[in-house]
Amino acid sequence: MSDYKAPLRDMRFVLNEVFQVPRLWAQLPGLAEVIDEETAAAILEEAGKISAEVVAPLNRSSDEQGCTWSNGIVIAPEGFVAAYQAFAAGGWVGVGGDPQFGGMGMPKAISAQVEEMVNSASLSFGLYPMLTAGACLSINAHASQELKERYLPNMYAGTWTGSMCLTEAHAGTDLGLIRTRAEPQADGSFKISGSKIFITGGEHDLTENIIHLVLARLPDAPAGPKGISLFLVPKVLVNADGSLGERNALSCGSIEHKMGIKASATCVMNFDGATGWIVDAPNKGLAAMFTMMNYERLGVGIQGLALGERSYQNAVAYARDRLQSRSPTGAQHKDKSADPIIVHPDVRRMLLTMKALNEGGRAFSSYVALQLDTAKYSDDAATRTRAQELVSLLTPVAKAFLTDMGLETTVHGQQIFGGHGYIREWGQEQLVRDVRITQIYEGTNGIQSLDLAGRKIVGSGGALYRLFAAEIRHFTANACADLGEFTKPLNAAMDTLDELTAWLLDRAQSNPNEIGAASVEYLHVFGYTAYAYMWARMAKAAMSTHSKDAFYASKLATARFYFARLLPRIHSLSASVRAGSECLFKLDAAQF
**Nearest alpha carbon to residue 128 among 84, 85, 90:** 84
Q: Under a CB-based contact definition with an 8 Å cutoff, are residues 101 and 150 in contact?
A: no
DSSP H or E stretch at residue 161: strand 160-165
Helix axis angle for 123-142 and 285-321, nearest 10°, is: 160
3-state secondary structure of 254: strand
Identity of residue 522: Y
Cα-based distances in Å from 362 to 129, 209, 571: 20, 34, 24
Identity of residue 362: R
Q: What is the pLDDT of residue 545?
A: 79
Residue 556 and residue 534: Cα distance in Å, rounded?
Answer: 12
Identity of residue 132: T
Q: Could you say which of 309, 442, 514, 521 is catalytic?
A: 442
Residue 66 and residue 78: Cα distance in Å, rounded?
Answer: 9
**Nearest alpha carbon to residue 84 among 109, 60, 58:** 58
End-to-end CA separation in angstroms for the chain:
42
Q: What is the pLDDT of residue 293?
A: 79
Let me know if 116 is a catalytic residue: no
Residue 391 and residue 178: Cα distance in Å, rounded?
Answer: 28
DSSP H or E stretch at residue 411: helix 381-416
How many CA within 13 A on the CB side of residue 31? 25
Q: What is the pLDDT of residue 493?
A: 98
Q: Under a CB-based contact definition with an 8 Å cutoff, are residues 76 and 265 in contact?
A: yes
Q: What is the pLDDT of residue 1?
A: 63
Residue 277 and residue 175: Cα distance in Å, rounded?
Answer: 20
Identity of residue 550: A
What are the residue boundaries of the structural domains of the chain, listed by start? 444-583
Residue 159 and residue 169: Cα distance in Å, rounded?
Answer: 30
Q: What is the pLDDT of residue 289?
A: 83
Give strand pairing partners of 340.
Answer: 323
Mean per-residue pLDDT pooled into runs of 10, the chain (592 residues): 91 98 93 94 98 98 98 97 97 96 97 98 98 96 97 98 94 87 98 97 98 97 94 97 97 98 98 97 89 88 98 98 92 91 97 98 98 96 98 98 98 97 96 98 96 98 98 97 97 98 96 96 98 98 85 97 98 97 94 95
Helix axis angle for 123-142 and 108-121, nearest 10°, is: 150
Residue 288 and residue 140: Cα distance in Å, rounded?
Answer: 10
The DSSP call for residue 217 is: B
Q: Which residues of 482-497 are buried (b: 16+ CB within 10 A; e: fewer)?
A: ebeebbebbbebbebb
